[in-house]
Structures are given as C-alpha cells and as structure tokens.
Amino acid sequence: MRLTLPLTIGATVVLFAAAACGGGQPEVAPAPDPDSIAREQARRDSIAAAQARADSIRRAQEEADRLARQRTADSLAAVRRENEAVMEMISRRLHFDFDRSVIRPGQDTEVLEQKLAILQANAGLRLEITGHCDERGTDEYNMALGMRRAVSAKQFLVDRGIDEARITVRSRGEEQPLDSGHNEEAWQLNRRDEFRVTAGGGSLKRPGM
C-alpha cells in the first residue's frame, strides 16, 4: 500500500500532463470565427482592465505605504529633533570661578533648572556629571576640586527632588582641558561640569509637554 499510493498519484499526474499537451496542439486548419475573435478580444480587454485595476490598486497601495513611511520617518525625525534639542539642553556645560565649586546664581542656575525640568519630565533619564578644572593648582587637588564641582551640581538637582540614584558623579581634574591654552580664556572654558546621559536617552520629552 505504501508504495501503491504515490505510484497512483504519479501516474495520474503524467496522464493529466499528456492531455494538457494534447489540448495545446495548434489546430490543423482553423477557420476564422468572428465570434471567437470578438470573445478573445473581450477576454483580453477584461484581462487588461483587471490588470490596470490591479496596477492602480498596487500603485495606490505603494503610495499609501510610502506616505505612511514618510509620516513615520517625519515623526521619527521630529522625535529625533526633539531628542536632540533636549539632549542639547541636558548636555549644556556649567562653568565655575577659579578654585570654586559653587553654582553661580543667574545663568548657571538657569542651566541647572533646565536640566531639573528635563529630569522631571523623563523619569527614565540618568545622568553622569563630570567636573573639570583648569591647569592651575595641584594635580591631585584638582581631582578633588573637579569632584566637588560635579557633586555641587548633583546636589542642586537632588535638593529639588531628583532621586540621587539617577545621577553619578565623576572628576577628571585638569586632565581633559577643552582648550589647551595657558590663558584666562582657556582656563575659564576648562573650569566646567560636563553632563552625559547614561540611560533613558532614547525618546526624551521636552519639559512641560
């Protein structure tokens, strides 16, 4: 039995194929039949029409897909732009007076208030704050001073309700100057806190949205 069934199926397929071939043979002397020509034409027309309909549907579908993709891309870009804008805000540096770690009221507290709002609007956001110094001062003392600068920015945020576990502090002392010059302009630029997002930076919401 196990062998018989496949053989039967195989034989059937062969016979069927032979019949089909026979049917496709050109007729010996076909007489032109106007009806059949018209029917054939109608058949072709209907196929063409169906084809056209299908094409138009396909094109419409493609257009719709393209538009959908575009919309997605646009909205992704918008999100990305939004993200970048928020990222730009969150990474904005803070600067310090010589040998000081206090946050200067005014522009510097505004910079931190902005970060505070972003942290409040994005609960998954985590930050790393790294303090830096200018080249003056002892190498080791500057490591400590950089740490104090990072801690003082963190404290500002924690005092206003941010969970301290969301913020880590680091110091690079005078090891990574932004400007390698040896003048007050360079020093001022180098005395800074840098802010880096360590988690939750994927789709940041603007504060107040």
Partner 1 sequence: MIGPSDRAVWRCGAGSALLALLLVSVLQSIPARLSAQDPVEQGVRLGITYTPGMRPGMLVLGGPQRERLDSVRTIIQRDLEFSDRFEMIYLPGGDSLILGVGPAPDSVVNPGTADVFVNYSLYEALGADYAVSVLEEYDSTLSVNLYDVAGEAVRTSARIDPLGVSSLDFRMAAHRAADAIVRAATGEPGYAASQVLFVSRGRLYSVDSDGANTRLVSPPEADTFSPAWSPDSRSFAHTELSEDGWGTIVVQDRVTGRRRTVTPTTEYLNLSPDFSPDGGTLVFSRGWDEGTQLFSYNLAQDCCLQRLTVGRLSDNLSPAFSPDGRRIAFESNRVGLAQIYIMSADGTDQELFAPYDYGVTGDSHSPAWSPDGLNLAFHRTVAGSPQIFVMGVRGRSVRQLTSAGRNEDPTWAPDGRHLAYKSNRTGAEQIWVIDIETGRVRQLTRLGQTRMPSWSPSITESNQP
Contact positions toward partner 1, by CB under 8 A?
Answer: 99, 101, 128, 130, 138-141, 143-145, 147-148, 151-152, 154, 164, 169-172, 175
Given a contact cutoff of 8 angstroms between Cβ atoms, the answer to whether 143 and 173 are in contact is yes
Question: Nearest distance from residue 170's CB to partner 1, in Å?
Answer: 3
Minimum distance, C-beta of residue 137 to partner 1, in the bound complex (Å):
8
CB of 79 vs partner 1, minimal distance in Å:
29
Q: Which is nearer to partner 1, 74 or 164 (CB)?
A: 164
Q: Which is nearer to partner 1, 90 or 147 (CB)?
A: 147
- Among residues 86 and 127, whose Cβ is nearest to partner 1? 127
Beta carbons within 10 angstroms of residue 113's beta carbon: 14
Q: C-beta of 188: minimal distance to partner 1 in Å?
A: 16
Of 193, 196, 160, whose CA–CA distance to 178 is shortest? 193
Cα–Cα distance list, 108 to 90, 92, 160, 192 (Å):
13, 10, 16, 11
Which CB atom, from 111 or from 145, has the smaller least distance to partner 1?
A: 145
* CB closer to partner 1 out of 108 and 174: 174
Tokens at 41, concatenated: 């034409």
* Pair 179, 192: CB distance under 8 Å: no
CB of 80 to partner 1, least distance (A): 27
